């Protein structure tokens, strides 16, 4: 069945959620107090305020997105959305900005462990989401990610970072959905801000 819709989806913090992993790992590394609570952004802001906080945060990110990704979980509602795309025979692409290696762990391949995370959860199985492996693209720069969105001819794109939609090369005409409890900055009128995947599903499919 031919469709004019081709949905593109970011990976980190859009498909996969790391809040609990960042919280646990930051405590294990003694970067936050044991009684600290909050999500990824709260952990980041606390660590950034420390001496050498930027470097400590980069090191923690490498651990969480790399060796600890197996602890990460699918964000609530994304499975239902991808099932809906599968049932409607709507093609999907996963397009993410992801370097090959963390700054402080050259032995870990971030792209491979992310792909393996999807394999282990049945993303490519016919009785899973039936995502085509060739439709998964990890790009080493944000610009290349935006160019991939254009070359894949996505009609819709979902991301947790408004900066992607504000990139000067972001293709015109792509319907943009920001997965965010609230937009931290003034969003363009072309960006639909959704607080959950269920809102995104409703906005796209009605």
The reply to whether 65 and 151 lie within a common domain is no
Report the number of distinct structural domains present in the chain.
Answer: 2
- Of residues 18 and 185, the one with the higher pLDDT is 18
Assess if residue 13 is contained within a domain: yes
Phi, psi of 59 (to 5 degrees): -65, -45
Distance CA 66, CA 22 (A): 12
Question: What is the average pLDDT across 161-167?
Answer: 94
Distance CA 94, CA 132 (A): 10
The reply to whether 63 and 85 lie within a common domain is no
The reply to whether 56 and 84 lie within a common domain is no
In DSSP terms, which residues pair with 73 in a beta bridge? 17
The reply to whether 158 and 139 lie within a common domain is yes
Q: What is the residue range of 47's domain?
A: 19-71
The reply to whether 102 and 186 lie within a common domain is yes
Assess if residue 161 is contained within a domain: yes
Instruction: Please state the pTM of the whole predicted model.
Output: 0.93
The answer to whether 28 and 114 are in contact (CB under 8 A) is: no
Distance CA 160, CA 39 (A): 14
Q: pLDDT tens, 189-203? A: 789 999 999 999 999
Residue 106 has pLDDT above 80, yes or no: yes
C-alpha 129: how far from chain center = 17
The reply to whether 170 and 91 lie within a common domain is yes
The reply to whether 79 and 169 lie within a common domain is yes
Confidence of residue 181 (pLDDT cuts 50, 70, 90): confident
Q: pLDDT tens, 21-73? A: 999 999 999 999 999 999 999 999 999 999 999 999 999 999 999 999 999 99
The reply to whether 56 and 41 lie within a common domain is yes
The reply to whether 59 and 120 lie within a common domain is no
The answer to whether 60 and 107 are in contact (CB under 8 A) is: no
């Amino acid at each position: 069945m031919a469709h004019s819709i081709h949905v593109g989806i970011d990976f980190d913090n859009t498909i996969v959620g790391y809040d609990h992993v960042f919280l646990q790992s930051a405590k294990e590394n003694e970067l936050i107090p044991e009684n600290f609570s909050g999500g990824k952004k709260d952990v980041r802001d606390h660590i950034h305020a420390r001496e050498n906080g930027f470097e400590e945060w980069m090191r923690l990110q490498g651990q969480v997105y790399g060796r600890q990704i197996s602890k990460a979980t699918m964000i609530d509602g994304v499975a239902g959305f991808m099932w809906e795309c599968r049932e409607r025979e709507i093609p999907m692409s996963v397009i993410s900005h992801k370097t090959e290696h963390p700054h402080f762990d050259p032995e870990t391949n971030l792209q491979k462990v992310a792909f393996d995370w999807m394999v282990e959860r049945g993303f490519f199985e016919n009785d899973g989401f039936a995502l085509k492996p060739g439709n998964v693209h990890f790009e080493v720069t944000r610009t290349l990610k935006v160019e991939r969105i254009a070359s894949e001819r996505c009609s819709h794109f979902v991301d947790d970072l408004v900066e992607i939609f504000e990139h000067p090369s972001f293709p015109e005409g792509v319907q943009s959905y920001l997965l965010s409890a609230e937009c931290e900055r003034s969003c363009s009128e072309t960006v639909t801000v959704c607080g959950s995947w269920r809102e995104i599903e409703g906005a796209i499919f009605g």
